[in-house]
Chain A
Amino acid sequence: MMKRILVAMIAICVPLSAQWLNYPTPGIPRLANGKPNLEAPAPKTADGKPDLSGLYDIDNGRLFQDIAADIKPQDFPIQPWAAALAKQREEDMRKGDPYSHCLPPIVPRINSGNRPFKILQLPGLVAILYETGYLFRQIFTDGRPLPKDPQPAWMGYSVGKWEGDTLVVDTIGFQDRGWLDGNKGHPHTDAMHVTERFRRVNLGHLEIQSTIDDPKAYTKPFTVTQKLHLLADSEILENICNENEKDAAHLVGK
């Protein structure tokens, strides 16, 4: 794979007028008309595992605002206290959404942000660079266990392992101030365990199935799916939220 990238790079004649955002992505299969062949098979790494590396954009951002968007209300296993808190946050016009205050959208909400992210898959490590929040995430795939008593963090601590063609990522170590979504303000606690199943369907498509297991706020685990597509010939940009953080002073509650 890497060799192919190098060969393709050398073959591409670099235009002098190249812009940051429209530089052709090297090393991806293309159709006769030069467009990326999004239906080509998912690439593989040297060890035969699917290579998730690439720049992705969401198909639909509804989960960012409502993690239960695809779940029937009667099937959403939210505990009464958590439902009451979510209702209060919604009535308060989501004034307290951390993301409105330039704080991180947590895992898995950040996977549904409306700005692209880049996955870098290396032996032993998967790193994700998010334009949303200008944040990164590390997922250790070198066999290390989850820490026993991690310091609570916005993004938690992640380890991943392969199950067939699916990268299964377990994340714990959350603090409890994050919101699972924006419009609904669904809460979570420090007991949350998120399992994300990353599957690259083909070159152009990625699916992330996320299971939220938080027995302090939900009576049983529930699962949601985010679909994404490859964003070829583009890039991620710097995105400094605090620079324009003039919202907080104007947010009003009920």
Chain B
Amino acid sequence: MKAHTVMIAIALAASAPAFSQWLRYPTPGIPRTADGKPNLSAPAPKMPDGKPDLSGIWVAADGKYLPNLALDGVEVPFLPWAAALYKERQANHGMGRPSERCLTHGVTDFDALGTPRRFIQTPGMLVIIFEAYNHWRQIFLDGRPLPQTIQPVYMGYSVGKWDGDTLVVDTTGFNDRGWLDDGGHPQTEQLHVTERFRRRNFGHIDLQLTIDDPGAYAKPWTVNLSGFNFFADQELMESICENEKDVQHMVGK
């Protein structure tokens, strides 16, 4: 809360320029160096309870993991059917990917996607609002358990808890129609994703993913994604997937 109070004080003190544009409004309340630039190596801010505050606008430090979460040579322990499906999707240049029909991303491909997203952290919840699709995601931090029987969805159902300074988010309740990445790593309704978010300093969040899906993989596999860089003095834009003209032009092998 202290950070928020400071934020308000600065917002009130800053005389808002009449020409300010949507995307160029200075992010209030962030540490800056003497030359006015955001001090990205400052310590991570804290919530009143001493836990790290992940709030802010973030972009993937590197978008290279979107086509393939296992880019760094991680061996993916495919079950045979999943290996065959992945091979087919690769041979088909990714045809059939949900996004070609303006369907949403899921947890793992949103984590790899290069477009900005805002984390809003409150004592009981972390909300992520994504520029892509204008979609949102809720991660409950209030101690509730993962639900048992639920309607499977693309984004799953998420709860998080703190392991030291790392926020560990468990998500289940996925449908089997999402793709783990644009390359087409398959998933089943047994998918359980564990994300470990660690705000290393003001400017960066490290992110590790563990994919545990006994329906598609022989054992859990873990990847370190690029994480996120703080996106200062910027805002999210509206991005409605309304130009759904891809699907008729997709060609396979």
Chain A: residues with CB nearer than 8 A to chain B?
Answer: 2, 5-6, 9-10, 14, 16-20, 23, 26, 46-47, 102-104, 120, 122-125, 127, 129, 134-136, 138, 142-145, 147-151, 153-155, 157, 173, 235-238, 240, 242-243, 245
Between-chain CB contacts (< 8 Å), 9 pairs: A6-B123, A16-B145, A120-B122, A129-B136, A134-B135, A144-B25, A147-B20, A150-B21, A155-B134
Please tell me if the beta carbons of A135 and B135 are within 8 angstroms of each other in the complex: yes
Closest residue of A by beta carbon distance from B150: A20
A78 to B154, CA, bound (A): 42
Residues from chain A with Cβ under 8 Å of B104 in the complex: 134, 238, 240
User: For chain A, what secondary structure do more than half of its interface residues adopt (helix, strand, loop), or is it mixed?
Assistant: loop
Please tell me if the beta carbons of B11 and A26 are within 8 angstroms of each other in the complex: no
A-B pair number, CB within 8 angstroms: 136
Residues from chain B with Cβ under 8 Å of A47 in the complex: 8
Task: For the complex formed, measure the closest distance between the CB of A1 and the CB atoms of chain B, giving whole angstroms.
Answer: 10
Please tell me if the beta carbons of A120 and B4 are within 8 angstroms of each other in the complex: no
Please tell me if the beta carbons of A240 and B237 are within 8 angstroms of each other in the complex: no
Closest residue of B by beta carbon distance from A20: B147
Stretch at the interface among B204-212, B214-222, B239-247: B239-247
Closest residue of B by beta carbon distance from A9: B142
User: For chain B, what secondary structure do more than half of its interface residues adopt (helix, strand, loop), or is it mixed?
Assistant: loop
Given contacts A138-B129, A153-B238, contact A18 B147 (CB under 8 A): yes
Seed contacts A26-B124, A123-B5, A173-B22; 18 additional CB < 8 Å A-B pairs: A14-B145, A20-B157, A26-B142, A104-B134, A120-B122, A122-B120, A122-B122, A129-B127, A129-B136, A134-B104, A142-B7, A143-B12, A143-B14, A147-B22, A150-B21, A155-B134, A240-B103, A242-B103
Closest residue of B by beta carbon distance from A22: B147
Task: For the complex formed, measure the closest distance between the CB of B22 and the CB atoms of chain A, giving whole angstroms.
Answer: 4
- Chain B interface residue bracket vs A: 35 or more
Please tell me if the beta carbons of A243 and B8 are within 8 angstroms of each other in the complex: no
Residues from chain A with Cβ under 8 Å of B103 in the complex: 240, 242-243
Please tell me if the beta carbons of A238 and B155 are within 8 angstroms of each other in the complex: yes
Please tell me if the beta carbons of A14 and B143 are within 8 angstroms of each other in the complex: yes
Closest residue of B by beta carbon distance from A23: B144
Please tell me if the beta carbons of A124 and B129 are within 8 angstroms of each other in the complex: no
Please tell me if the beta carbons of A147 and B135 are within 8 angstroms of each other in the complex: no
Given contacts A138-B236, A238-B154, contact A151 B145 (CB under 8 A): no
